[in-house]
A and B are shown apart, each in its own frame.
Chain A
Amino acid sequence: MSDVNARIDAEVKSSDVVLFMKGTPQFPMCGFSGQVAQILGYLGVPYKGVNVLEDQEIREGIKAYSNWPTIPQLYVKGEFIGGCDITREMFQAGELQALFEEKGITVKQAS
């Protein structure tokens, strides 16, 4: 495993919920990243935001790591869940809430 892959792997597993995004949870720099941050905020799920704009190596490396070409990327318990569209569709269908609960992550608003 290359250095960057090892770094990404450590980031992905550093927290139950990790969001690779442009900007930070407080200041998203892209609408797609912002939508996912907003959903996680709404559900009251603690998560770690990794700002790919601050690290070119991670920005490129994360795409190869997940075989997914775009940012944002959401990981739960080390597993890649998807990008903005998948996260939003799962949230709207109640599947995201179910996934968190299934993984033992407390969701503030169950609806």
Chain B
Amino acid sequence: MTSMAERITSKLESELAPEHLRVIDESHQHQGHGGWREDGETHFRVEVVSSAFAGKSRLERHRLVNAALAQELADRVHALAIVAKAPGEA
């Protein structure tokens, strides 16, 4: 079975062609909180560096990531923390 982290990784790779991509499952940190599920895969953090973000505002960047992961957010991803940078940004 494909894990949610793998699904997120493959969607972001195909949509944003990132130079750097890190997908971290933080579900265990939210144990017992709203949206948490026994079998995990609900809370994720993604760090993306992509030229698709160049010249775009924070809001536009996050919208690109949210749009790429719309299905995952609808399925079971409850919280998505996003760090979106263009190449060359610190």
Query: Which residues on A are within 8 Å of B, measured CB to CB?
Result: 22, 29-32, 67-70, 80-86, 89-90
Contact = CB atoms under 8 A, between A and B. Distances in A.
Q: Chain A interface secondary structure, helix, strand, loop or mixed?
A: mixed
Contacts of A86: 58-59, 62
Interface of B: 30, 33-35, 58-59, 62-63, 66, 70, 73-74, 78-83
Contacts of A22: 34
Contacts, number: 37
Nearest to A32: B79
A69 B83 contact: no
A67 B62 contact: no
26 contacts: A30-B33, A30-B35, A31-B30, A31-B33, A32-B79, A68-B63, A68-B66, A69-B70, A69-B73, A69-B80, A70-B73, A70-B78, A70-B79, A70-B80, A80-B59, A82-B59, A82-B62, A84-B81, A85-B62, A85-B81, A85-B83, A86-B58, A86-B59, A86-B62, A89-B58, A90-B58
